[in-house]
Amino acid sequence: MLNMNTILIQSDKKKSKLISDLAKELGGKVYDVSNDIIEDIALGNLMNNVKTNETVTREQIFNKLHIK
């Protein structure tokens, strides 16, 4: 089985097309990923990095947010 890697490159539209065309020519798959999805991935990654596996109650959350 092949070991596949993924890279993300942010660039202007013209350069992105050039890189995309090159990747396709080299046999790679190209996906257009919106900034919203990149932010979701970054947030998910951050959440995984700070995960404590502890649970808290709704009351504890509201107290922390100063909501009654």
User: Tens digits of per-residue pLDDT, 55-68?
Assistant: 999 999 999 998 76
The model's pTM: 0.55
Residue 2 predicted with pLDDT over 90: no
Torsion on CA atoms 42, 45, 46, 51, rounded to nearest 10: 160
Residue 36 predicted with pLDDT over 90: yes
Give the H/E segment covering residue 35. Answer: helix 35-49
Look at residue 1 in the predicted model and tell me its pLDDT: 67
What span, in angstroms and rounded, lies between the C-alpha atoms of 8 and 13? 14
Residue 28 predicted with pLDDT over 70: yes
